[in-house]
Amino acid sequence: MKLEVKNISKSFGDSKILEDIDIYLERGELVCLLGTSGGGKTTLFNIISGLMEPDKGSIYLDGEDITLKPGKISYMLQKDMMLPYKTVLDNVALPLMIRKDGHGRLGRKKRARKEAMKYFDEFGIAGYEKKYPSQMSGGMRQRAALLRTYLFSQEVALLDEPFSALDTITKSAMHQWFLSVMEQIKMSTLFITHDIDEAILLSDRIYILAGRPGKIVDEVKIELPKPRNREIILSDEFIRYKRYIMEKIGS
- pLDDT (tens digit per residue) in 21-33: 999 999 999 999 9
Same domain assignment for residues 64 and 181: yes
pLDDT confidence band for 251 (50 / 70 / 90): low
> CA-based angle 30:151:185, to the nearest 5?
40
**Segments forming the whole domain that contains residue 180:** 1-73+155-251
Same domain assignment for residues 93 and 165: no
Same domain assignment for residues 135 and 119: yes
Same domain assignment for residues 183 and 248: yes
CA distance 41 to 194: 10
CA distance 146 to 138: 12
Q: Please, is 225 exposed, middle or buried when counting C-beta atoms within 10 Å of its C-beta (0-12, 13-18, 19+)?
A: exposed
Q: What is the distance, to the nearest Å, from the Cα of residue 80 to the centroid of all Cα atoms in its chain?
A: 12
Mean pLDDT of 89-105: 74
Identify the domain boundary among 112, 129, 152. Answer: 152
Mean pLDDT of 140-160: 89
Structural domain count of the chain: 2
Residue burial 104-119, b: 16+ Cβ < 10 Å; e: rest: eeeebbebbbeebeeb
Type of residue numbered 157 = A
Same domain assignment for residues 239 and 171: yes
What is the residue-averaged pLDDT of the chain? 89
* Per-residue model confidence (pLDDT) at position 71: 85
Lowest-pLDDT range of 50-64, 65-79, 89-103: 89-103
pLDDT > 90 in the chain, percent = 59
Give just the sign of the alpha carbon dihedral 154, 57, 31, 175.
Answer: negative
pLDDT confidence band for 92 (50 / 70 / 90): very high
pLDDT(215) > 70: yes
pLDDT(110) > 90: no
Same domain assignment for residues 68 and 163: yes
Same domain assignment for residues 147 and 166: no
Give, for 190, the enclosing helix (H) or strand (E). Answer: strand 188-193
- Cα–Cα distances in angstroms (integers) from residue 116 to residues 75, 83, 230, in the given order: 18, 16, 30
Lowest-pLDDT range of 120-124, 185-189, 226-230: 226-230
Lowest-pLDDT range of 17-31, 102-116, 124-138: 102-116
